[in-house]
Amino acid sequence: MKIVLTALVSATAGFVAGAGAMLIAFPFLFPPPPANDPLPASIFLQQAAPIVKASSAAGPANRLTQGRFSSESPGRDALHWADGQVGIYRSGDRAVLRLEGDFAAGPGPSLVIYLNTKAVGDEADFLGDVDRRQVAALRSFKGAQNYVLPAGIDLTRFQSVTIWCERFSQFIGNAELPKGLGLTPGA
C-alpha cells in the first residue's frame, strides 16, 4: 500500500511539473508567426478586434510620435526584452499604436501592451503607474503590428509604451515617447 501511494504521489507530481513546464515552454516551442501589418491608412472599425487594416483609398496615416524600446532598461534581462521602434499614428479619426517592422520581443506567455503616464524601466515603475492604460495582447513576438487605440484617448497623458507579462508580472520592455510631436488631446 505504501509503495502504491508513493508511486501515485510521484506520478501526480511529475504530471503537474510537466504540465507547468509545458505552459512556460509553449511560447518558446510554438511562437506565433511574425506579423507584417501594413502602415495604417484607414480603419475598418471592429469594436471587438483592436487590429487595423489598410486601405489605399483613404491615404496615408500621419505619424504623431515614435520611440524605441530601450536596451538600457534596468528591468530588462536575457529572457525578458523588447527591441525596435513603436509609433503612434493618426488614421482617419482614430489613433493607432504601431510596433514597427523591426520590433522583436523575447517569447513569453500573456504579453500585453500598455501606455504609461510616466517612464517605466522595471516592475516597480510599471506597478507604480496607476493611470496606465492597457492597449491589447501582443499578437506576435516579431514584426509590424497595428493596434487601434480607444476613441477619445488623451495621448498627451502618456509618456511611454510598455510590454508586460501578465501571467508572471514581469517587465519585458519600454519605449519612451518624446513629448510635443503632434500629440493632441482628444486623439
Structure confidence by residue, pLDDT tens digits, 108-159: 999 999 999 999 999 999 999 999 999 999 999 999 999 999 998 999 999 9
Q: Are 157 and 131 in contact (CB under 8 A)?
A: yes
- Strands (E) across 52-142 are located at 62-68, 82-83, 85-91, 94-99, 104-105, 111-116, 133-137
Q: Where are the domains of the chain?
A: 1-30, 34-176
State what percent of residues in the chain have pLDDT above 70: 73
For every residue of 45-60, DSSP letters joined together read --TT-------GGG-P
pLDDT band with cut points at 50, 70 and 90 for residue 187: very low
pLDDT recorded at residue 181: 53
Between 39 and 173, where is the model more confident?
A: 173
Between 52 and 71, where is the model more confident?
A: 71
Of 9-13, 19-23, 114-118, give the lowest mean pLDDT range: 19-23
Between 111 and 51, where is the model more confident?
A: 111
| Among 2, 20, 1, 22, residue whose Cα is nearest residue 12 | 20
pLDDT recorded at residue 21: 53
